[in-house]
Amino acid sequence: AINITQHSFSGTDVFGYTSFLAYSTIPNITFYYEFHLKFQLLNHHSALQDNLIFFTGQKGKGLNGDDFLVLGLRDGKAVYSYNLGSGTATIISKPLDLTLNIHVIHLGRYLQKGWLKVDDQKNKTITSPGRLVGLNVFSQFYLGGYHEYTPELLPKGSRFKNGFQGCIFDVQVRTDMNQEFKSPGTPEGHPNSGRSVGQCKASPCTLIRCRNGGKCVESGSTVYCDCLAGWKGAFCTEIVTVCDPEHDPPHLCKRGGTCVPLPNGYTCHCPLGASGIYCEQG
């Protein structure tokens, strides 16, 4: 078990699914909210990949016309969008200074007016179109990715093709100017669910010792021991016998015969209807 205090996201995997955390719906977000967060990119390339940082929506599906709130990275810039039901407002920052190790984002909205401040850049503001002034969202608050295929289900005009790649930490929100900032979730800071999230800067391989020449391999939030020939098991502690499927060459028992290892080689126990040394005869 790894105690995750700074979340590390691996982006979109080979099946098209993103690593993500889902927190309970943020209450009282309708007329006012402020978010603070910090993030660290996996590499410079990940800033250019249309990466989602967080999302919450009316129905949670990001269907066209839904109220939604979304933050992501596109072409090396932070993109903040919201729709109160009468049109989308979008603020795009200047390009991120990729020499910085950690980036800081402050954003917020009061009624129709929104603002975004990234690192040491100047504060940018926008006013959403139409007359509606309330953000009505009921979905969970998704961080780092989405529980479905992101491209199909995020809002039209704000689609991010990948989950975030890197670390996101110190996410804080408040829905009243007189409130203190708090971590999302109920209880505070606790997500409801997630997928492929690890601990930033700490590989689970540091906690695992593969034996007999095995090598620890990290894949997203999954780790396993890659064993040398002749060894198997979670930590490469078990010897591969002549009857194991990993053995090369494989045993020759046919017709459903059961391979039974012997001190020198093996024998085949044949099922009813089969005979011969390798159960090869009917």
Residue for token pair 């494989």 = 250
| Structural domain spans, the chain | 7-201
Is 203's pLDDT higher than 80? no
Contact 188, 179 (CB under 8 A): no
Distance separating alpha carbons of residues 166 and 43, to the nearest angstrom: 8
Q: How many alpha carbons lie under 13 Å from residue 225 in its C-beta half-sphere? A: 20
- Tell the CATH topology of 7-201: Jelly Rolls (2.60.120)
pLDDT tens-place string over residues 123-140: 999 999 989 999 998 889
Q: Would you state the pLDDT for residue 202?
A: 64
Q: Would you state the pLDDT for residue 48?
A: 76
Tokens of 42: 């996996």
pLDDT tens-place string over residues 104-125: 999 999 999 999 999 999 999 9
Mean model confidence pLDDT for the chain: 86
pLDDT band of residue 64 (cuts 50, 70, 90) is: low
Is 152's pLDDT higher than 60? no
Helices (H), the chain: 150-153
Mean pLDDT, rounded, for 137-163 = 72
Residue by residue, DSSP assigns 102-141 as: SEEEEEEEETTEEEEEETTSPPEEEE-SSS-------S-E
Tokens of 111: 């009624």
Query: In the beta sheet, which residues pair with residue 238?
Result: 232
Whole-model pTM?
Answer: 0.71
